[in-house]
Amino acid sequence: MKKLQFKIIINANVEKVWHTIFDADSYRKWTEVFQKGSCFEGSWDKGSEIRFLAPDENGKMMGMYSFINENIKYKFVSIHHKGLIISGVVDTSNEDFHKWSDSYENYTLNELDSDTELITDMCIPEEYMKMMEETWPLAQQALKSLCEL
């Protein structure tokens, strides 16, 4: 597993940034850089199951099967990725499923006067590191643009 961290300052208050990250409609917009049609199913509440999904090249839903470890409103969310979703179902027999079982993704929001610092920390399988290093800055810029409208 490899650890990555991405930081950005957004010229918007912490409440606006929070809602733009986690509300379903805006989530679809800023995460489109990862995969067209990205969405989530489930709840951001602590202890809840959540699925991060997007259609594959055949239109079948694929993505991550995860749980919310922590949710402190306007401050912090911790996601524990447990494995993969293939063709719409959690696939525990897939070799890649176990690669994700110890991965996480954390969002920390720090209020800076009228701005917000967003820090995204993650621990992911090594083979996904390059893709995340290239894509996360684009996602943060998309999020920043939505928040600063």
Candidate CATH numbers 3.30.530.20, 3.40.50.150, 3.30.450.20, 3.40.50.2300; the one for domain 2-143: 3.30.530.20
- Please count the other Cβ atoms lying within 10 Å of the Cβ belonging to residue 101: 14
Domain residue extents for the chain? 2-143
pLDDT over 90 (residue 124): no
Helices 129-147 and 14-22: angle between axes, nearest 10 degrees: 120
Q: What pLDDT shows up at residue 116?
A: 98
* Location of structure tokens 């650890």: 3
pLDDT over 90 (residue 47): yes
Give 58-90 pLDDT, tens digit per residue: 889 999 889 999 999 999 999 998 888 888 888
Q: Which spans in 3-128 are helix H?
A: 14-22, 24-30, 95-99
pTM: predicted TM-score of the whole model, two decimal places? 0.91
Q: What pLDDT shows up at residue 72?
A: 98
User: Could you tell me which of 107, 121, 105, 78 has the C-alpha nearest to residue 10?
Assistant: 107
Determine the Cα angle at 66 with ends 62 and 71, to 5°: 135
